[in-house]
Structure 1
Amino acid sequence: MQPKPIFALLLRCCLMLCVSFLIGGGNAAANDFLSDDAYANGETAQVADPIEPVNRAIFTLNDKFYIWVLDPVATGYSKVLPADIRGCIGNFFYNLGEPVRSVNCLLQGRFRDSGLVLSRFALNTICGVFGLADTAAHEFAIPPISATLGETLATWGIGDGFYVVAPLLGPSTVRDLTGTVVDSLAMASYYPWSDDELSPYTLTGVNTVNRTSLHLGEYDQLKSLSFDPYIAFRNGYFQMRSKTRNHSQTK
């Protein structure tokens, strides 16, 4: 296999992960992160935003991309495939990331979690038909476990740097963006379609559209509830990150 240009791999990272940061998860609109005051003593206040004008410009570009391209395509896609099938497709792509999550758990000293993640991967790959079904959660009571390189770097004492909004990727920090890119490159290195030049982009596009289709309306709802969407998404990112890490630490 000939090595792919780094630009092509980074593009794949952007396409795979843009939705997760753009729409921010299932219960975003229900959380109280529309005001900076709510974060006066929280994590948001601890991370500087020195390039806010640049971040706002990129946020606007991401917003246009979502509204003009991603949302219409995902809406049409959702009308063709039932939610159950789209859920299975989402499970398949999530399952492919389990080896990387297991390594991150190991690097964070979460040895039990690392073993559980590998167990999930084995169970869902074998019993869940290559991950189409989350058999580990439904039949063996092993729920999904979050672990990213950004969390690993935080565990090692590496600071956030500053807040950034990356093209397509959306809200992040210098540390977390680095972790996101490295995690994605690691996943791409063992994907079963990595020897083909066209399939990676096609399937990455399917994953992106599929994930968006499972969260239709949430992005617009959050924007409509906030006076300044940029601040709302910035605060929302840090709140979700804090919840994820707190949950991991209490397991």
Structure 2
Amino acid sequence: MRWKNCLLGTAGLIVGVAVTVLCWTSRARAVDFLSDESYEKPTADVQVADPIEPFNRAMFKVNDKVYLWMIEPVATGYSKVLPADIRGCIGNFFYNLGEPVRSVNCLLQGRVRDAGRTLGRFFLNSICGVFGLADPAGHEFDIAPVYASFGETLSVWGLGDGFYLVVPLLGPSTLRDFSGTVVDGAAMATYSPWNDDGLTSATVQGAKTVNHTSLHLGEYVEIKSMSFDSYVAFRNGYYQMRSKQYDHSNTSR
């Protein structure tokens, strides 16, 4: 199956490069969400590049229905079957699988120390934590998790956001960040143990989503209930969350 993984990785790279070009051409029109000036105003006044808002709102509604009618009910039943500790271990396993990709992104961003820390976490948790089910790197060795994605790498390289994008089944993103997600996913596919066929991969991704949701039940509905326009609230919330992630990464450079 090695040739399939290579094809998948190549396809992901092509998509990433194509979207990166689009992000570059729209950089001059995009708002710099990483600057301090972008956050001097209240959250409701945050300016975002959203030229395809009708499409994004339609996808937001689709994702909302899928979550409320499918994912959350399944996750609720799932949470009643498995204790929180076991679900936490499953979440640790999936997170640990992404550590090699995070390490590479750290190197691409010039964060050599973080690259070593991330790779160290991967080996410690894979060996001492039983394939990543536990987190001895964090609990016993005090090595905190490090955030890094290819979307952030593109940002460090000077590429703009492009524009805001709500991806079906995935949620809020930007043109640049979604391209990074595609490349990161293709990179993980080259060494993930369940990429022999599409059905198995989709099943595993579905299980990962349900497990994650089961650990955060009620949060989505609570956020929606506190906002007059849920679409705008989640759009601004996405940018604030990403800004905090990027700012935290910048402090380690």
TM-score for the superposition, normalised by structure 1 = 0.83
Corresponding residue SS for 2:159? coil
Matched, 1:38 2:38: no
> Match of 1:185?
186
Amino acid at match of 2:240: Q
Aligned-residue CA RMSD (Å): 1.8
Write the mapping of 1:228-239 to structure 2, written as runs, cut at 5 A. 228-239=229-240
Sequence identity of aligned pairs in percent? 67
Mind listing any 5+ residue stretches in structure 2 that lack a counterpart?
A: 13-40
Counterparts of 2:250 and 2:99, CA distance in 1: 19
Q: What letter matches 2:190 in structure 1?
A: S
- Decide which moves more: 221-230 or 187-196: 187-196
Q: Which deviations, in whole Å up to 9, do the C-alpha atoms of 1:149-202 show, x marking residues without a partner?
A: 010000000000011111011111100010011111111221022235543232
Q: Give the counterpart letter for 1:152 in structure 2.
A: T
Amino acid at match of 1:185: A
Counterparts of 1:48 and 1:180, CA distance in 2: 19
Does the alignment pair 1:149 with 2:173?
no
> Is residue 2:252 matched to residue 1:240?
no
Name the residue aligned to 1:29: none
Q: Which of structure 1's runs of 4+ aligned residues deviate more than 6 A?
A: none
Match of 1:173 in 2: 174
Q: How does 1:188-203 map to 2 (within 5 A)?
A: 188-196=189-197, 198-203=199-204
Q: Distance in 1 between matches of 2:53 and 2:198?
A: 37
Match of residue 54 from structure 1? 55
Comparing 216-225 with 186-195, which one deviates more in the overlay?
Answer: 186-195
TM-score (norm 2): 0.83
Residue 248 of structure 1 and its aligned partner are, at CA, apart by: 1.0
| Residue aligning to 1:83 | 84
Counterparts of 1:198 and 1:235, CA distance in 2 = 34
Give unpaired runs (5+ residues) of structure 1.
11-35
Which residue of structure 2 lines up, in the alignment, with residue 132 of structure 1?
133
The one-letter code of the counterpart of 2:174 is T
Could you tell me which amino acid in structure 2 is paired with residue 202 of structure 1? T
The alignment partner of 1:136 has SS state of helix
Deviations 1:67-99 (A, max 9, x none): 000000000000000000000000000000000
Letter in 2 for 1:203: V
Provide, for residues 25-49 of structure 1, a one-character-per-residue CA deviation record: whole Å limited to 9, x for no partner: xxxxxxxxxxx84254xxx42x311
- Paired residue total: 220
**Equivalent residue, structure 2, for 1:97:** 98
Q: Which has the higher contact order (CA 8 A, sep 6+)?
A: 1
Q: State the 1:123 CA deviation.
A: 0.2
What does residue 25 of structure 1 align with? none
Secondary structure at 2:166's aligned position in 1? strand
Distance 1:197 1:153 in 2: 28
* Counterpart AA for 2:149: T
Report the counterpart of residue 26 of structure 1 in structure 2.
none
Map 1:109-120; keep pairs closer than 5 Å.
109-120=110-121
Q: Name the aligned partner's letter for residue 230 of structure 1.
A: Y
1:215 is aligned to 216
The answer for the alignment partner of 2:36 in structure 1 is none
* Structure 1 CA distance for aligned equivalents of residues 235 and 99 of structure 2: 27
Letter in 2 for 1:208: T
Amino acid at match of 1:112: R
Task: In structure 2, give the amino acid aligned to 1:165.
Answer: V
Deviations 1:81-136 (A, max 9, x none): 00000000000000000000000000000000000000000000000000000110
Secondary structure of 2:158's counterpart equals coil
Matched position secondary structure for 1:140: coil
For residues 199 and 161 of structure 1, the distance between their equivalents in structure 2, rounded to whole angstroms, comes to 33
